[in-house]
Amino acid sequence: MTDSEKPLDFGDYCYIEQHRFGGKNETYQYKVIGRGQANYYRPVPVMFDGISIRGSDMQDVVKVIQCGPVEERVETFRVCDVSRECPGSRTPDQ
């Protein structure tokens, strides 16, 4: 099993798209601190308002902290909305 096939879990890094007004969306790096299931999560691309979606179905989620100068806020995102690879990055064989 390659690294890209392993499920994201504690200690891994992932990338999440951030919404930008008047320009191209950006992708930020996050640290994964946990994995589980929940019926609430942040929508992607992430907006400034901090709104979470609450649904009736349980979803596979990761708990993450955005990498940066202040790493205090834990956020929840669906696994299907995050990426292990930074979009636009090249792999060593390309």
pLDDT tens, residue by residue, 19-58:
999 999 999 999 999 999 999 999 999 998 888 889 889 9
CA distance 80 to 62: 10
**Residue 90 reports pLDDT greater than 80:** no
CA distance 28 to 1: 26
Q: What pLDDT is stored for residue 74 in this prediction?
A: 94
Cβ burial of 9 (10 Å; 0-12, 13-18, 19+) is exposed
**38 sits in which H/E element:** strand 26-41
Q: What pLDDT is stored for residue 65 in this prediction?
A: 96
Residues 6+ away with beta carbon under 8 Å from 93: none
Q: What pLDDT is stored for residue 85 in this prediction?
A: 85
Question: What are 58-87's pLDDT values in tens digits?
Answer: 999 999 999 988 888 999 999 999 999 877
